[in-house]
Each structure stands twice: as C-alpha cells, then as structure tokens.
Amino acid sequence: MSHLTLDLTHTEPFIAPEEWAAVELQAAAAAQLLDSRRGPGADFLGWLDLPVRYDRAEMRQIKAAARRIQRQSQVLVVIGIGGSYLGAKAALEFCQPTPPLWPLPSRKKGALQVCFAGTNLSGTHLQQLLDAVGKRDFSVNVISKSGTTLEPAVAFRFFRQALEARYGSEGARERIYATTDRARGALKTLADREGYETFTVPDDVGGRFSVLTAVGLLPLAAAGIDTDALLRGAADARVRYRSTSIADNDALRYAAARNILYRKGKLIEMLIGYEPRLLYLAEWWKQLFGESEGKNGKGIFPTSAQFTADLHSLGQYVQEGRRHLFETLIDIETPQHNPTLPATHDDLDGLNYLAGKPLHFINEQALRGTLEAHVAGGVPNIRIGVPEATPYYLGHLFFFFEKACALSGYLLGVNPFDQPGVEAYKKNMFRLLKS
Ligand code: PA5
C-alpha cells in the first residue's frame, strides 16, 4: 500500500542544513519525552494508543447503535462543538463531500443524512436546522465531554423538545445517544436519569484528540463510513511515526520543519487544499494546532485556505504581503471524479487547447504554478501527499497530525494538551448572562 508522503523540497531555500542539524537533537528529545509519557500533560496521552487499544465492546455498541439510527431515522443531528464536533465533520466532508446543492432529493435513497448543531449560538441557524429536519424522522447524538458547554446544551434543549413533541418522551429516549464523560457532568447525569444510550469520552483523551473515540466514530458509523478502515489507517500511522529520529519519522520531521520556520519569523501556517472536501479537515487541524500550541505568548497561528478559490482573494497577500507565512499543502493525488473538459465549436473562451484534458490535470497545473510562484515570493511550502481520499488515509492523516502536534508542542516548550485560555471568554459570558 502506498503511504502519505512528506515533501520538504520547497522549504530548502529557507532552511539551511545547519539549522536541521541544530534541531535534530531537540526533536529527538521531544519524541523521547512523548514516549516516556512523563512530559507536560501526560494524563492526556490516551489518543496515542486508541487505534489499537480501543474499547472493543464499545466499538460493537457503536456499530449496533449506528445500525439502529439508520433504521429509525433519515437524519442524525449531531450536537457538539470544538473537539466534540470537528473530527466527525472533517471526516464526513472528506469521505462524503457535501454536494453543492445539498440536500438534493435524489441523494442516495434511504441514506442517512448527518447534520451538526450546537456549533454556535445563532437563532437563525438553529431555526433553519429545525426547519430542514422538518417532518423527517430524526435521531440525536449529543456530544460533550464536560457536559456543560453552553452551545450544545442550548441546541440540545431545542432538539430534545422537538423529539419529545414528535415521538413522546419514551420515543425520544430511544432516539437520543449521549457521548460524554464516563462518570461526571450534567450530560452524564441527565443521560443516566433519562435512560439514554451513552458512549464514553475517555478521561485521558482531550477533545481535539478525540476523533477516534465514540465522539467521531458513532456519527461516522451512522453515516456509513468504514470506521474499521479509519482505525486501520491510524494504527499503521502509529507504527510508521514511532521513531525518535527525524530521518525516520515524517511526523517528527514536519514538527521540526515548522519549528525552524517559526523561529525564523514564519509565524503563520496556512493549510492549503485544492479539493473542497478538505475544508473541514483544515478546521479540525486549526483547533488541534491552535489550542495545543497557542499559549505562554508562543505558537504558530494556524489558518487555512482553499485554492484555487482563495487565490482570487488571499492570493495577493500570500504572494507579496508580509513575509511571515508558510504553507502546508495537502495534495490528494487521485481524484474521485475526473471529468474531461468539453470542446466548443466557437472556442470563444480560447480554452479548446485544453479540450479533452481531465480536470485533475488542470487542477494539478494550477497547484504547481502556485507552488512555484509562492516559493519564489518567499513562502516556504511543505507538501503532504495523500494517495486517495479514503477512510484509511484519513485515519492515517489524523494520527500523523496528532502525533506531529504533540511533538511540535514539546519542541516549542509548551504543554500541548491543555487549553487554559478558552475559559476567559466563558467567564465573562456567564457573568453577563447571569447579571
Ligand atoms: O478542546 C477543547 O477543550 C474545546 O474545544 C472543546 O472540545 C469544546 O469546548 C467542547 O467541549 P465539550 O466536549 O466539553 O462540550
């Protein structure tokens, strides 16, 4: 089987060989610290073993619940935010990209549609979701590790009320699946009292590292995504990115390259994709790196762009603006669909020279041309090649980034597993709400 490839060729003009030599020992030390499980945040390293040491009994329960949801409903409303949402959303978009005119009545008959609620406090969005579900049969998977997060708790009130109005309290209970802490929190208390089927967010796995727990796996299994392949991809990545030497470990090499660039003033990393299916993977990645590294006045600012669309908006800045950026490109090498460009008899747009060419070829030339221009303009580029957009490679990619992120945090000298800063706005918001 082919693998993910990490190509650092286009960082070469920006990183001198002695800079690699200087970071080598530090990178090895970061990898050893992670392996020792004694570094900062060591209580949150459960994700390292998830691909192989997951709870088999819970996996069976997830698959059975997924089948039940498919039988009982046309729509699954997944309620969660941050780490309790982005992994499943990213995987769903990656594996089953939303058609541009969703929802189409002709979408595969009988297929469950998954939508997400509790990701904001907009009444308009919530009402639109309730209206979109309309008269269709639906189930709810409410996900919150703490069980006290405002946005999902608010959305859950509405959808629980809608379920109870439609199916009665007994019927609603059979359609609510709660994913939360094993023992604590308001959601756990409610689920136990009401008798909802529950799934666990392990104590030693933080939200942004939880996609391979029930948090991600239940919605994905319900959507018909091959969760075994996802876990297999992650398990292979776990072996592949084990070494403590940058020569043999691409996750460590990626972490080290980021660290060198950061020290040289490249403070912003843009995750770039040429396939819209990567949009939410970038959102997941932003949370992963942003919450893990952005603390103690340090950290690369993670952002993303969708090319070629954003070349028509951000392209000017990337090419000629302040030189504090680098790009990480996710390049999906084999397209799912590859239509060829039709010829026209008048050729008014002058594109007949491309007639008969597959769109992937055209997209690739845009990628190459952009890469060349941005590198020449002073923007280093890290390329991650993904052979195909399958659950297997996605599982691999999830684990690659998680491992790289943990290593990057240790290299930077921060605890990559806490997020003390996210409490500040909440304190103010609750003070205002209660005043
Ligand atoms: O990483 C984090 O801690 C946050 O982004 C959380 O994932 C998010 O706030 C959701 O938290 P919870 O699952 O407790 O509702």
Write the CATH number for 173: 3.40.50.10490
Domain hosting 269: range is: 5-40+230-412
Q: Which atom of ligand 1 is nearest to the CA of 143?
A: 13
In whole angstroms, give the CA distance from residue 133 to residue 151.
Answer: 19
Q: Contact at 8 Å (CB) between 411 and 299?
A: no
More confident: 48 or 109: 48
Q: What is the mean pLDDT of residues 112-119?
A: 95
The protein residue whose alpha carbon is closest to atom 1 in ligand 1 is 207
Q: What is the pLDDT of residue 144?
A: 97
Per the domain annotation, does 429 fall within a domain? no
Do both 90 and 209 map to the same domain?
yes
Q: Which residues contact 357 (CB under 8 A, 6 or more apart)?
A: 340, 341
146 and 242 together in one domain? no
Q: In the structure, what pLDDT confidence band is assigned to residue 119 with cuts at 50, 70 and 90? A: very high
- Is 259 found in the same domain as 208? no
In 343-403, beta strands by DSSP E: 381-388
Least confident of 98-112, 122-136, 274-288: 98-112
Helices H / strands E in the chain, number of each = 14, 10
- Ligand 1 atom index nearest CA of 83: 7
| 431 lies in some domain | no
Q: Whose CA is closest to 212, among 28, 397, 68?
A: 397
Give residue 380 CA to ligand 1 midpoint distance, Å: 32
CA pair distance 394, 384, nearest whole angstrom: 12
pLDDT in tens, 254-301: 999 999 999 999 999 999 999 999 999 999 999 999 999 999 999 999
Give strand pairing partners of 114: 76
Q: Is the separation of the CB atoms in 76 and 96 below 8 Å?
A: no
| Average pLDDT along the chain | 96
Atom number of ligand 1 nearest to Cα 210: 7
Domain boundary among 193, 228, 263: 228
- pLDDT at residue 100, rounded to an integer: 74
Query: Tokens 């994709």 — which residue?
Result: 273
256 CA to middle of ligand 1, Å? 28
Among 101-115, 228-242, 381-395, 406-420, the least confident range: 101-115
* pLDDT for 13 beyond 70: yes
Final residue in a domain of this structure, among 160, 195, 228:
228
Structural domain contains residue 248: yes
Say yes or no to pLDDT of 103 above 70: no
- Tokens 């619940």 identify what position? 65
- Residues 182, 58, single domain; the answer is yes
In a domain, 419, yes or no: no
One domain for residues 158 and 244: no
**pLDDT above 60 for 225:** yes
- pLDDT (0 to 100) of residue 111: 80
pLDDT value at residue 110: 64
Q: Are 13 and 390 in contact (CB under 8 A)?
A: no
Cβ atoms of 260 and 23 within 8 Å: the answer is yes
The average pLDDT across 169-197 equals 96
Question: Residues lining ligand 1, judged by CB closer than 6 Å?
Answer: 81-84, 144-146, 149, 152, 206-208, 291, 419
Give the CA distances from residue 318 to residues 6, 270, 379, in Å, rounded to whole numbers and listed in that order: 22, 10, 7
Domain count, the chain: 2
Residue 12 is assigned to a structural domain of this protein = yes
Can you tell me the mean pLDDT for 126-151?
Answer: 95
**Chosen domain end from 196, 228, 260:** 228
Give the closest residue (by CA) to ligand 1 atom 8. 82
Statement to judge: residues 207 and 290 lie in one domain = no
Euclidean distance between CA atoms 127 and 158, whole angstroms: 9
Per the document, the length of the chain is: 435
Kindly state whether residues 153 and 278 are assigned to the same domain.
Answer: no
Residue of 149, 289, 429 to mutate, ligand 1, most atoms within 8 A of C-beta: 149
Please write the tens of the pLDDT for every residue from 152-180: 999 999 999 999 999 999 999 999 999 99
Q: Inform me whether the pLDDT recorded for 385 exceeds 50.
A: yes
Average pLDDT over residues 5-23: 97
311 part of a folded domain: yes
Positions marked active-site: 291, 312, 426
Same domain, 94 and 18: no
Per-residue pLDDT band at 106 (split at 50, 70, 90): very low
From the CA of 81, how far away is ligand 1's center (Å)?
6
The share of the chain scoring above pLDDT 70, in percent, equals 97
- How far is residue 137's CA from residue 114's CA, in Å, rounded to a whole number? 12
Cα distance between residue 244 and residue 248, in whole Å: 8
Share of the chain above pLDDT 90, in %: 93
**Pocket probe mutation, ligand 1, options 116, 144, 148, max atoms within 8 Å of Cβ:** 144
CA-proximal residue: ligand 1, atom 9 (nearest): 82
User: For residue 369, how far is its CA from the centre of ligand 1 (angstroms)?
Assistant: 39
Q: Is residue 424 part of a domain?
A: no
For ligand 1, atom 3, name the residue with the nearest CA. Answer: 207
Residues with Cβ within 8 Å of 144's Cβ and at least 6 positions away in sequence, in order, are: 80, 84, 152, 153, 179, 180, 185, 187
Are 212 and 298 contained in the same domain?
no
Q: Is 285 exposed, middle or buried (0-12, 13-18, 19+ CB in 10 A)?
A: buried
Q: Which residues contact 382 (CB under 8 A, 6 or more apart)?
A: 6, 7, 8, 10, 11, 254, 257, 258, 326, 327, 328, 329
Is 119 in the same domain as 73? yes
Q: Give the integer Cα–Cα distance in Å for 44 and 213.
A: 14
CB burial of 239-259 (b: ≥16 within 10 Å; e: otherwise) equals ebbeebebeebbbbbbbbbbb
Residues 216 and 234 in one domain: no
pLDDT single digits (tens) 60-101: 999 999 999 999 999 999 999 999 999 999 999 999 998 777
Q: Are residues 23 and 105 in the same domain?
A: no
Residue 347: pLDDT band (50, 70, 90) is very high
Four-point Cα dihedral 426, 431, 433, 435, nearest 10: 180
Question: Position of tokens 């189930």?
Answer: 139
Give the model's pLDDT for residue 107: 47
pTM of the model: 0.97
User: Residue whose CA is closest, atom 15 of ligand 1?
Assistant: 144
